Amino acid sequence: MSKVAIYPGTFDPITNGHIDIITRSLRIFDEVIVAVAPSKKKEPFFTVAERIKLIEQSISKLKGARAASFDNLLMNYAEETGSIAVVRGLRAVSDFEYELQMALMNRRLNANIETVFMMPDQEYIFLSSTIVKEVLSFGGSVKGLVPQAVEKAINKKIYR
């Protein structure tokens, strides 16, 4: 039976740090669903449809990965999709407390689905979607930090 994992997040937008985690997950799982949540913030930079399109363009070469969106409870969505695990990325210690809280709550909601944490390459330890948007809004370069499709899409939004 194929092993499916779900990698949830805002992905506003997807960065090379996320790609690194997806690539690592595919070494363990047969299928990884990159699941886009609407947003915790009121106004995301990209709409859910735009974020999905950018993810699809960025993961086209990663066999087994696909993008989807969800707006219900993560653990319900994970169960619906037959996922056996939730994948999350851990960068610095600052990620830990929030991730631990989420993982324990998710386990309480469904003890059959494990949360698996993965560390990205050191290169991406300080990378976040937020910092990418900030640098770009001031005209800085994010070359090598986001997939090409994302760089183009952000520039188009800022400078159109």
Binding stretches for ligand ADP (CB under 6 A): 9-11, 15, 17-18, 21, 40, 88-89, 91, 95, 120, 124, 127-129
| Selected catalytic residue, list 3, 53, 91, 107 | 91
| Residue 102 burial (10 A CB sphere; 0-12, 13-18, 19+) | middle
First to last CA, the chain: 47
Q: Taking the complex as a whole, how short is the minimal distance between the CB of residue 117 and ligand ADP, in angstroms?
A: 8
Per the annotation, the verdict on 91 as an active-site residue is: yes
List the 114-118 sheet strands across, edge first: 65-69, 31-36, 4-9, 85-89, 114-118
Distances from the Cα of 148 to the Cαs of 16, 54, 132, in angstroms? 10, 10, 13
Q: Taking the complex as a whole, how short is the minimal distance between the CB of residue 160 and ligand ADP, in angstroms?
A: 24
Nearer to ligand ADP, 113 or 160 (CB): 113
Per the annotation, the verdict on 129 as an active-site residue is: yes
Nearer to ligand ADP, 40 or 160 (CB): 40
Per the annotation, the verdict on 107 as an active-site residue is: no
Q: Which amino acid is at 46?
A: F
Per the annotation, the verdict on 42 as an active-site residue is: yes
